Amino acid sequence: MSIQQVSSFASGQWIAPGAGARNIASAITGEVIATAGNDALDVQAMLDYGRNVGGPSLRAMTFHDRARMLKALAGHLNQHKQALYEASFDTGATQSDHMIDVDGGIGTMFVFASKGRREMPDAQVYLDGDVEQLSRNGTFLGQHICTPLQGVAVHINAFNFPVWGMLEKLAPTLLAGVPAIVKPATNSCYVTELAVRLMLDSGILPAGALQLVSGGLGDMLDHLGMMDVVSFTGSANTALKLRSNPVILENSVRFVAEQDSLNASILGPDAIPGTPEFDLFVKEVSREMTTKAGQKCTAVRRIIAPNGQVEAVIEALSARLAKTTIGDPRLETTRMGALVSMGQKHDVLEKAAIIGTEATRVYGDPDSFTVDGADADKGAFVPPMLFHCADPDNAQRVHDTEAFGPVSTVMGYRDVDHAVELANKGQGSLVASVITHDAEVARQVAMGAGAYHGRLYFNNRDSMGESTGHGSPLPHMVHGGPGRAGGGEELGGVRGVMHYMQRTAIQGSPDILSAIGQQWVPGGTEIEGPAHPFTRKFGELSIGETLYSPSRTVTLEDIETFANFTGDTFYAHMDDAAAKRNPFFPGRVAHGYLLLSFAAGLFVEPNEGPVLANTGLDNLRFMQPVSAGDSIKVRLTVKKKTPRNEEYGEVRWHVTLTNQADEKVAEYELLTMNAF
Ligand code: NDP
C-alpha cells in the first residue's frame, strides 16, 4: 500500500513532506497510511504572503462579495463531499460521523454566507450599534465601526473534526476579510488537505486567502504581530503553552481558545421513567457518548440525575449502549468506529482509570468487547464505558478529567440547586443540557449555571421533534465556554466574525460619520434630487437624497373616520375627557397609524415606477401627540442602499414627521425594494 504524502500549501505552492515529517496510522488497522510535515517550511514567507497578497484582495471586497464567495465554496465542497467521506474512514469515523463533520462544516459555511448578506452591509465597514448623540445640537456624533484586521488568522485545529473544525473557523475569518493559515491536527490532516485542495482548485478564493500547514507549525507563532489572530481548538495543556508564548503576550495577539470541557447533562426532577423526557434523556446521552466515539468537545462527560433515578438511568443507558455495534466504520452495521489513534486509545484508557479511582465502572469493559470487521488490538477501538460516582460532592477527578472517548459518569443530585452545583464543578464548559418539561427548573438552572457555560440546551417533549442535539454547535449560536473550556467564543453568527475585526470608536460630524459608515446619519447633508425619489431607479438614488412633502391638517373627522373604519376606537381617540385624564394626552388625539397612513399619502408617487414593494418599517417611534387642527409634514431621506440581486435592491429611508411647530411627532425607517 502506498503511503499518502500529505502536503502543505505555502505561499501559493504545494510543498510535499520533507525532513521532520511524521507518520500517520490508520485508526482501524494501525498501519501507516500517510506522512505529513516539513521542517523547511518558510513560515515567515507564509505570513507575509497572507498579509501582503491575501489580505488586500479580501479587504477590497465587500461583506456581500465575501458572503457570495463563501456560498460558492460551500456549494463546491458539497458537490465533492463523497471524496471527503471516503478519505475520512481511516480516522475511525463512521458515515454518520462524516455527515456531522463534512455536511456540518459545509452547512456552517452556508449559514455564514447567508448571514453575511442578510446581517452585514454591502460595504467594507460594519457598523456596530447606533449613532451616539455626543452633543446637544447633534453636530458631533459617535459611532462604532469594525474593519478587518490587516494580518493573518492562524487556525490550529483538533483531530476530531478535520472538515468542520476548519470550516467553522474559516467561514467567519474570510467573511471578516482576513486570510487564514490552517493547521489541522496531524492525525487526521489528510482529510483537511483534501478539503483545502478542493477549495483552492475551485478557483473561488483570491490568492493568499487560504494556506495550509500539514504537520508541525514550526516557529510560526514567534512571528505573529498585533494584526494577527490565533484560533485554537485542542487540549488545555497545548492552549496554555501556546497562549503564553512571549511574542503573543507582548504583541497582544488575539488568542481564541476552545479546549477541554467536562460537559454535563441534567435529568430534570420531573423527568421520571415513563415520561417522554426520561426516554429523550437516555437517547441524547447515549448518542453523545458514542457519536465520533465520544471524541467531541461537546460530548456529555457527566450525567447528573435525581438520586432516586440514578439506578433507572444506569439501567436504561446500559441497555441502549449494549446495542452499539463497534467495528470497522466502513461496515454499514457499525454504530461506533475507532478513536483516531492508538495514542488516543492509551490516553482514554489512562483517563478512564483516573475516573475509576472515584467511580465504579457499571458498563463497558475495555478488556472484553466485540469489534466487527477489524482487529480490536490493532485498531484504536474502545467500548462505551459508563461510570457511577456515588459521592460527587467529595470527588474531584470526575469533574476535571476529560477522557476524550465514549466515557461518561453518572452522579446523583438532591435538588436543582445541587444539580447546578455539580454542573458548575466542571469549572467552565462548552455546553450543559437539561431535559425537563418544567420551565421553572429551566429558569433555575439558567440563573445558577449560565455563567459557567457557553451554551445551555433545554429539551423536552415540545421541542424534541426539531431539536438539534446537545452536542451540535450551531453557526447561529455561540460556541465556546469560560474557564476550563478556554474562555473563547466562536460562531454565534456575526459575533464570530468580530474576532477577526477591530472595533473602533469614530467621533465626528454627521457628514464625516455618513461618509465612513456609507449610510446617512441624521444631521448630515440632505440632497435635493432632480425628481421625486420614487421615480428614480436604485442606481440613481444618492445617499442623503431627500424629499420634503407639503403639509396636511389633521381634522376630528379624519380621526373619527379612521376609528370607525379600522375599529380602533380606543378612548384616547374618541373620548376627550378620558384622554385628558391620561398623562400622555392633551385630549383626543390622532391614531399613530393614521399619521403613518397620512405620511404615506404625503410622500407617495402613485404611478408605476422603480419602487416595487414596501417591505417593512423599523424603529418606529411616536414622539408627540397630534390633535385635531395640527398639521403634519414628512421628510424622507435615502439612508442606505443594499443590492439584493441583479434586478433590485433595498432602500432604507429615514422618515421624520413634524408638526406645524417643526417638532418631531414620529420617526422611523421605511424599507422599499427598488428596481435597478
Ligand atoms: P493537542 O492540544 O495536542 O493538539 C491540538 C492542536 O494543536 C493540533 O493541531 C496539534 O498539532 C497542535 N499543536 C500541538 N502542539 C503544538 C505546538 N507546540 N505548536 C503548535 N501547534 C501545536 O490535542 P490532541 O489533538 O493531541 O488531543 C489531546 C487531548 O486534547 C484529547 O485527548 C482531549 O482530551 C483534548 N481535546 C479536546 C478537544 C476539545 O475540543 N475539547 C478537541 C481535541 C482534543 P499536532 O496534531 O500536529 O500535534
Residues across the chain: 676
Nearest to 437, CA basis, from 606, 553, 269, 559: 269
Distance CA 452, CA 471 (A): 17
* Residue given cell 489513534 in the structure block: 341
Residue of 91, 238, 350 to test ligand 1 pocket, by largest number of atoms within 8 Å of CB: 238
Distance CA 171, CA 163 (A): 12
pLDDT of residue 1: 64
Atom number in ligand 1 closest to CA 402:
34
Catalytic site residue from 193, 258, 277, 288? 258
Catalytic site residue from 168, 189, 277, 297? 297
Question: Would you say the C-alpha torsion 85, 89, 91, 92 has a positive or negative sign?
Answer: positive
Query: Distance from the CA of 232 to the center of ligand 1, in angstroms?
Result: 9
**Residue bearing the CA closest to ligand 1, atom 4:** 234
Nearest to 67, CA basis, from 6, 23, 138, 115: 115
Q: 55, 152 in Cβ contact below 8 A?
A: yes
Task: Look up residue 238 and give its three cell numbers.
Answer: 497545548
Query: Distance from the CA of 161 to the center of ligand 1, in angstroms?
Result: 12
Phi-psi region of 646 (alpha: psi -120 to 50; beta: other; left: phi over 0): alpha
The one-letter code for the residue type at 449 is A
Residue 297 catalytic? yes
Nearest to 495, CA basis, from 30, 119, 184: 119
Query: Distance from the CA of 522 to the center of ligand 1, in angstroms?
Result: 51
* Residue given cell 378620558 in the structure block: 578
**Residue bearing the CA closest to ligand 1, atom 35:** 235
Q: 104, 164 in Cβ contact below 8 A?
A: yes
Separation of CA 519 from chain center: 27
Q: What are phi and psi of 383, to 5 degrees?
A: -85, 160
pLDDT of residue 645: 85
Q: Each residue of 426-436: pLDDT tens digit?
A: 999 999 999 99
Q: Report whether residue 261 contacts ligand 1, using a CB cutoff of 6 Å.
A: yes
pLDDT < 50 positions in the chain: none
Angle, vertex CA 100, rays to CA 96 and CA 102, nearest 5: 105
Q: 510, 623 in Cβ contact below 8 A?
A: no
Nearest to 406, CA basis, from 469, 349, 461: 349
**Residue bearing the CA closest to ligand 1, atom 43:** 234
Residue of 188, 192, 235 to test ligand 1 pocket, by largest number of atoms within 8 Å of CB: 235
Q: Show the DSSP H helices in 504-581 as ranges.
A: 510-517, 556-566, 571-574, 576-581
Query: Distance from the CA of 233 to the center of ligand 1, in angstroms?
Result: 7
Which residues partner with 15 through β-bridges? 8
Across the beta sheet with 4-6, what order do the strands follow?
4-6, 32-36, 22-25
Q: Report whether residue 74 contacts ligand 1, using a CB cutoff of 6 Å.
A: no
**Residue bearing the CA closest to ligand 1, atom 13:** 238
Q: What are phi and psi of 569, to 5 degrees?
A: -105, 35
pLDDT of residue 646: 87
Distance CA 381, CA 372 (A): 11
Distance CA 256, CA 228 (A): 11
Q: Are strands 229-233 and 153-156 parallel, antiparallel or unpaired?
A: parallel
Looking at residue 336, the DSSP 8-state letter turns out to be B
DSSP per position, 475-504? TTSEE--SGGG-S--EESTHHHHGGGEEEE
Separation of CA 535 from chain center: 41
pLDDT of residue 462: 95
Query: Distance from the CA of 158 to the center of ligand 1, in angstroms?
Result: 5
The one-letter code for the residue type at 581 is R
Q: Each residue of 186-237: pLDDT tens digit?
A: 999 999 999 999 999 999 999 999 999 999 999 999 999 999 999 999 999 9
Q: Report whether residue 161 contacts ligand 1, using a CB cutoff of 6 Å.
A: no
Angle between helices 189-201 and 164-176 (to 10 degrees): 40
Q: 9, 213 in Cβ contact below 8 A?
A: no
Q: 230, 178 in Cβ contact below 8 A?
A: no
Collapsing DSSP states into helix, strand and coil, what is residue 372?
A: strand
Q: Helix (H) and strand (E) counts for the chain?
A: 22, 29
Residue 189 catalytic? no
Query: Distance from the CA of 484 to the center of ligand 1, in angstroms?
Result: 15
* Helix (H), strand (E), coil (C) string for 285-321: HHHHHHHHHHCCCCCCCEEEEEHHHHHHHHHHHHHHH
Q: Report whether residue 490 contacts ligand 1, using a CB cutoff of 6 Å.
A: no
Distance CA 619, CA 625 (A): 18
* Residue given cell 467552565 in the structure block: 428
Q: 575, 559 in Cβ contact below 8 A?
A: no
Query: Distance from the CA of 404 to the center of ligand 1, in angstroms?
Result: 11
Q: Report whether residue 599 contacts ligand 1, using a CB cutoff of 6 Å.
A: no
Q: Report whether residue 248 contacts ligand 1, using a CB cutoff of 6 Å.
A: no
